[in-house]
Amino acid sequence: MSRKVLVLGEVRDGSLRNVSFEAVAAGKTIAEGGEVVGVLIGKTVSALGEELIQYGADRVVVVEDDKLEQYTSDGFSQAFMAIVEQENPEGIIFGHTALGKDLSPRIASKLSTGLISDSTSIEEAGGNLVFTRPIYSGKAFEKKIVTDGVIFATIRPNNIAALEKDDSKSGDVSSLSVDIKDLRTIIKEVVRKASEGVDLSEAKVIIAGGRGVKSTEGFNPLQELADVLGGAVGASRGACDADYCDYSLQIGQTGKVVTPDLYIACGISGAIQHLAGMSNSKVIVAINKDPEANIFNVADYGIVGDLFEVVPMLTEEFKKLKV
């Protein structure tokens, strides 16, 4: 059965986030030969429509308004619902990001439809589209099918591969004029606490520090390794609670959920709440002084040692490989 699927392109600092392209790929799977319509919402975002098309969208609908410069669930839901009314889709895909997690339940409730959140894969099996999502903090996976209504899902970043970009592809990028009613919340200023650089939730390589880093300065060798590998620095809640770093770096049950290709845990004991945020990483390396640390139970490679000796050694070796 072919479907029309709306895919939300997420814009940050004037660029589309990678999860937008992964969402287009997921949208293609759900469309089953039907149409994938990219959606862009913001102040001036229409120039990004072409890129969504090059990653596989058939066309793009844009809603632009000064009131949409910053994300608010109020403004974005008005814009998205106007597109839903125009397009009448049978499927909707968002990234499982802070924005997607905030907006999707609101849209699902307006549409009186269900929502499969945090999907890590979507496959066709036995005539059904089967969505897989982690449950119990990643200890188990459940599989879901939708039997009725709009198929609405959010996808976890870094799990569903984006399609190859086709620079020669073009398509229609159209504007929809929407009268955005006065917003109940107005964002005056956004203050970034996290360090500029690779986005943690989309990073392919993460070097994470725990209480074992012992201080804010203790994160410096981790940052150096991250820089050499083109990765991002993350943290356990232990490190955040100890004020060694900002909570925006926290990974785990009450922090960010990440799925990088490589996760290097430095001085992290491996509490279940931390594992909930990183245990689905493709390759896990643990560096810990304590050979009994629980983190070694999920690690593919374990190094028993002092992180302040091991991490700089790794950085030097990776530097040599890059030359």
Closest distance of CB 198 from ligand FAD, Å: 20
DSSP SS3 for 2: coil
Closest distance of CB 306 from ligand FAD, Å: 4
Rounded to an integer, what distance in angstroms lies between the CA atom of residue 201 and that of residue 205? 10
Closest distance of CB 308 from ligand FAD, Å: 6
Closest distance of CB 234 from ligand FAD, Å: 9
Radius of gyration of the chain from Cα atoms?
21
Closest distance of CB 141 from ligand FAD, Å: 20
Nearer to ligand FAD, 113 or 137 (CB): 137
Residue 141's beta-bridge partner residues? 134
Nearer to ligand FAD, 134 or 252 (CB): 252
Closest distance of CB 84 from ligand FAD, Å: 34
CB 259 within 8 A of CB 280: yes
Q: Which helix (H) or strand (E) is 84 found in, with range?
A: helix 73-87
Nearer to ligand FAD, 34 or 267 (CB): 267
- Cα 71–Cα 257–Cα 116 angle in degrees, nearest 5: 70
**Which residues would be at the binding site for ligand FAD (CB under 6 A)?**
210-212, 236-239, 250, 252-255, 267-269, 271, 273-274, 277, 287-290, 293, 306-308
Strands (E), the chain: 4-8, 11-12, 15-16, 35-42, 59-64, 91-95, 116-119, 121-125, 128-135, 140-144, 151-155, 173-175, 205-209, 232-235, 262-266, 283-288, 301-304
Nearer to ligand FAD, 184 or 193 (CB): 193
Nearer to ligand FAD, 23 or 295 (CB): 295
Strand order in the sheet with 140-144: 121-125, 128-135, 140-144
Nearer to ligand FAD, 188 or 193 (CB): 193
